[in-house]
Amino acid sequence: MDEITYAQAVNAALRRALVEDSSTVLFGEDVALPGGVHGVTRRLRREFGERVFDTPISESAILGGAVGAAIMGLRPIVEIMWADFAFVAFDQLINQAANVRYVSRGRLTAPMTVRTQQGATPGSCAQHSQNVEALFAHIPGLRVCLPATPQDAYDLLLTAIACDDPVVVIESRALYHSVKGTVEQDRPRAPVGGARIHRTGSDISVVTWGPMLHTVLEAAQVLEGSGVSVEVIDARWLNPFDTDTVAESVSRTGRLAVVHEANLTGGFGAEVIARVVERGMPLSAPPLRIATDDLRIPAAPGLQQAAIPSRDAVVRQLLSVCAPGVAA
């Protein structure tokens, strides 16, 4: 089986959805004729014609159109080019899409998928670099996932499209063309939810998601040389969040850290720790949050690199909890 990129995995999932279900439509800014600003929807317009179409630059119109289409029986997949731009259309997403099932007493649903991407890449400016997953996860009625591998980029998107509730799929621009892997494309669609343990360990449980998964896995490899065994959990879904998998891991390791690229204050890491602490689980060290400081993301690559948790920063902070006094 040939390896494909994260972006190609998203493209393959979209193609499968369009082939298998004629009610599926795909639209957004530049997704059709240009094939997506990042090339993710390339050739889909050519294969599926008017079921794949471009829209004006209006996030509110894109999401509002998706809500209406979903209520009327279609299964729209829309792209918000940058997660930062979803803010101008929050009314359609939060007041409308997330409420459809509730205000209709369950008679109607809004089976729509919102694809977007987020995160900082070198030179990305302040309005193109934020990590906003906690905002979406805060809204009842919205499902939220963040694939970190090509296989999950494929699987989670198909799961989202099959879901009868609105789902926000937050992809990673940094991973689109930098990560490759083999992707099984013929297995059944998985149900919504479920974390995955990527690496087993015995000294500390580290929960992460999105591109930070790869940083944490690199840090765990370094820490192995210092005798620290790290269990790495990819949350994958923030709503629903798989608290049971995290709690079971912490019951074995006795320590917990959460690593995310989003800003510290109000980040979903606080929610993860709260859920574990509320279960009254004994911890041998205070839980740890490793995140970007509460600042605007600088455009300068050097400053950006200093702001976002790096492999070495993760190593230092995990060592401070697991082996105080040991130098990184």
Tell me if 192 sits within 8 A of 144, measured CB to CB.
no
φ, ψ at 21 (rounded to 5°): -135, 110
Report the alpha-carbon distance of residue 272 to residue 234 in Å, rounded: 12
Q: What is the pLDDT of residue 126?
A: 86
Nearest C-alpha neighbor of 196 from the set 134, 138, 249: 249
Nearest C-alpha neighbor of 320 from the set 203, 199, 198, 202: 203
DSSP assignment letter at 25: E
Count of CB atoms situated within 10 Å of the CB of 300: 11
SS3 146: coil
Report the alpha-carbon distance of residue 259 to residue 302 in Å, rounded: 21
Kindly state the helix (H) or strand (E) to which residue 71 belongs, with its residue range: helix 59-71
Per-residue pLDDT of the chain (328 residues; tens, 9 = 90+): 899 999 999 999 999 999 999 999 999 999 999 999 999 999 999 999 999 999 999 999 999 999 999 999 999 999 999 999 999 999 999 999 999 999 999 999 999 999 999 999 988 888 899 999 999 999 999 999 999 999 999 999 999 999 999 999 999 999 999 999 999 999 999 999 999 999 999 999 999 999 999 999 999 999 999 999 999 999 999 999 999 999 999 999 999 999 999 999 999 999 999 999 999 999 999 999 999 999 999 989 999 999 999 999 999 999 999 988 777 6
Q: Which residues have C-beta within 8 Å of that of residue 295, sequence separation ≥ 6?
A: 263, 307
Nearest C-alpha neighbor of 10 from the set 104, 92, 113: 113
Tell me if 169 sits within 8 A of 113, measured CB to CB.
yes
128 is catalytic: yes
- The size of the chain, in residues, is 328
The catalytic residue among 38, 128, 198, 214 is 128
Beta-strand (E) ranges in the chain?
A: 3-5, 24-28, 52-54, 75-80, 113-118, 143-145, 167-172, 180-182, 196-199, 204-208, 230-234, 237-239, 256-263, 288-292
Report the alpha-carbon distance of residue 25 to residue 294 in Å, rounded: 38
pTM equals 0.97
In angstroms, the Cα distances linking 152 to 177, 182, 236 are 15, 11, 8
Q: Which residues have C-beta within 8 Å of that of residue 152, sequence separation ≥ 6?
A: 196, 234, 236
Q: How do beta strands 24-28 and 167-172 pair?
A: unpaired
Report the alpha-carbon distance of residue 115 to residue 83 in Å, rounded: 9
